[in-house]
Structure 1
Amino acid sequence: MDNQNSQMVGIHSHLEMGSLEERAVLEFEDESLFSPDSASRKTHSREGPLVLAPSPASEPSGTKCTSNSIFNSIKIVVFSTKINLLVPFGPAAILVDKFTDNHSWVFLLSLLGIIPLAERLGYATEQLALFTGPTVGGLLNATFGNATELIISVYALKNGMIRVVQQSLLGSILSNMLLVLGCAFFSGGMVFSKKEQVFSKAAAGVNSGLLLMAVMGLLFPAVLHFTHTELHFGSSELALSRFSSCIMLVAYAAYLVFQLKSQKNLYVPVDEGGNQTEGDGDGDEDEAPEISKWESIIWLTILTLWISVLSEYLVNAIEGASVAWKMPIAFISVILLPIVGNAAEHASAIIFAMKDKLDISLGVAIGSSTQISMFGIPFCVVVGWIMGRPMDLNFQLFETATLFMTVIVVAFMLQVCPRRKLSLSNSISSIILKENLFNVNARILVL
């Protein structure tokens, strides 16, 4: 009986130990519902030490997150706007060029294919600007906003089409300062007809001064040519253009230092009372970036390369399209190419004005014109110098006079606005739109 009792006690104690172990296992299982590491603790042996098993889903989850990020980025950039329906026209232009000799269709398809790329380039630039602040963001918007014109100009220089380069850059300045700025003022005045919109008068004054300096740089070679006072016909004009271009590039570099380092507070937007507000303050909900900084950089690279490819086909087909459509090359260079290249700037400047962000609209329109005149045109002169092309600053008398009058009118109207305020009653939009219509009609009559 004693032996039986001892055996029963041993069995009972063994059962209690087993129940304790089951409770422990259940506790571990309950913990595994909340902690991913606790699930690996069940793999150890009762007699051996605790061994943590690696999580098999760690690597696939990282790959899955990366693939989801790429998919979301493509979805936002490619499929979020209806204008991307024009993207297939780019590959169609390449196919038409390969299998046919119809330059008019190649030019038209390339022109339509570049429009959504220019718009998406502006979008990616705006997303990148959200990570850099308002000052650097405005500079990035102006730089990549003009990337299309600069790429087209470089390919035109490569083909020796100097007048196309001059007229397309001149058309970009005129369209930004007259069409874009006038439409922005008009749209903002219509939306906010019962209030006054404000802007930084100091920043607008700096840009106006740089534009006047650029006009003077373009005026000297034209005056030298038409007064016949140069010692060596052609060579003196070219030498003066290259010297002036170097000076303008140095001045633009100094302006960048002034804008980004020395007086960066000058470019902070102003509020309704005319006081400057910090750009990093309470932002709107729509100012949150939709893609990351590196995704923006990657998309900028891809879009710039694709625009470069289509620009080559576009430039090669300009002369054929001019003959087929019986349209002067000057009209294509001054009117069509700038409208396509500035499509993103046109839309963004008007949208910002309708959101009561007039400083950004002025930065897009006047800042873009400043960059083309102080950097784009001298850059093309230097690139032509390297290529051995006689690219100069002689934009002919009519074009130079048109640019001079445009800069004077815009600079004067921005300076006379009282208390840094602008309203529809100031009639700036109507004056600029009338000036735009006058210049367009004059160019058509001359052509």
Structure 2
Amino acid sequence: MVSINEKTDLESDEDIPFSSSAATSKVEALDFEMIHLRSRADLAKSWVSRHMWIRVPRSIYIVLFKAKINMLLPFGPLAILLHYITGKHGWVFFFSLVGIVPLAERLGYATEQLAFYTGPTAIGWLAVLTVWVSVLSGYLVDAIQGASDSFNMPVAFISVILLPIVGNAAEHASAIMFAMKDKLDITLGVAIGSSTQISMFVIPFCVVVGWIMGQPMDLNFQLFETATLFITVLVVAFMLQEGTSNYFKGLMLILCYLIVAASFFVHVDPSDAILEFHMGAFGVAIALLVLTIILENQIVCGKQSIYRLKKCDIYQGRWVYDPNSYPLYDSSLCHFLDHAFDCQKNGRADELYLKYRWQPYSCNLPTFDGEDFLERFRDKRIMFVGDSLSLNQWQSLTCMIHATSPQSGYTIKRIGGTSTFTSKSHNVSLMLARNAFLVHIDQQRYGRVLKLDSIDLKDGKSWKEYDVLIFNTWHWWLHARRKQPWDFIQDGKTLHRDMNRLVAYEKALKTWARWVDKNVDTKKTKVFFQSISPSHWNASHWGYPEGRNCTAEREPLVVAYPRSKDPAEVIVEKVLGDMSKQVLLLNVTGLSQLRKDGHPSIYGNGAHLGMDCSHWCLPGVPDTWNQLLYTELIRN
């Protein structure tokens, strides 16, 4: 398998003379000293000559020596030497087999480089390695019978089991690499694509070439081989019906392969040629038919998976302890994290709260992939608008992206209440705009006025420029007296010192909803509203003795939250339901209510000052909010 560093080595050295300031200075100094002695053309010719002397040895080193598997390369020449010394001996087969392994891996590497470069180096090595593999394959084929006699192995076992393992080494490595990145569709595409190419193109092509060369060939497969092909295709077809994968399916397929290998090792074909021909032809036809069905299934597999995901209620489920997959990132490596959310750094010693995964009842959430997220939103802008809970979620998302795609360059800018996280490699911007009420707070001569029927013009103009909007408001509506950031509430033309907060909240949400209906084209801009983030100040709300809060809570609730729906939730659902434009509700309230263990409590300030049962530790619950956001973006 090719390392990330190795991927860029093959041709990147073309820029070596100018890759550092020191090298640049040397070239400039040389140009200055020789300006009266040599022309620019002479300098260019000299540089190219020196560059070639650097490039050729470096390229040879990268391809032939850098990878550890290249230690097996000498087995190829040894196989050829043994062929002329001993003839078609079994050891010629063994040495050829071992010698082809690194060549196949290097061939896959050179092919992969063509995705990045089209220069002569990659193409040249591709040609050289292909020729060398073909030469060595000739000796390998000639030695099969000798290997069968020497090692007492059936020819069928050698050709069906051993040769494909080596010959497809590069494809196997690629498939494993994609599987490790949770790209099951690409993994299956590599495997099934290879089988299809061989069965539908390579074999018929060999028959045609054999006919041209006067070497008769046919497709008369033995009965056992045909039956095995049919059964294996059928097994794989059943395994793929759900469109999901797990370790048990993989283990079952490996065991099936071992059974097939053992069967070919001990099987002896009967001599009834007529029966073999008819059964073989019938079996091949059936196997190809099933293979076609599998291919058709795989073509629509992605669509079917998304269809199932759309039908799934991802907000109904339970918290599952998953220490192998969680947390999704290390807080000490996320430099964007606010001090108040970094509970581990602030002294929280327990780690159970870090390792719970949200599991919907009827489906699995897609694994968050920062690289995929950035690719989906290349050249796009995403904005979180809301209070400190939006800050919680925004910082969670930046840490998740950084953890799964650390190689991308990032910048963070903070101007007033606005923070912007930008991925340079994909030109994706994640912005946080602090706006706790969504509606306008106007500074008048007599005080600060919260206008329930007005959106700030500057805010509204900014919102219209984004591709994805995630709104949130509630917690600040509960603040009173010195904590409230306004002095009066204006409802229409009426000015109030205060009013029922739920009534005010509903009026403000309706103002926001009218603005979205009027100003946002939801075909171009996705709009989300995050539901109420619950707090855990009173343990009696979840069936514990009154007087306790979230302090010392270590585990989530495993049963349904006993308290009824918050009135603010009802208001949110009603307002969104009355809108003419589609706004997706990130309904995180219910699943977050179960996480009484997820708050900073006394670990939000680093000095055990104050109590916080409203915000969330990071890593923690907001990571799940972002997984749900990622899922909604995929299925919508």
TM-score, normalized by length of structure 2?
A: 0.35
Q: Which has the higher helix share?
A: 1
Q: Which has the higher strand share?
A: 2
TM-score, normalized by length of structure 1?
A: 0.49
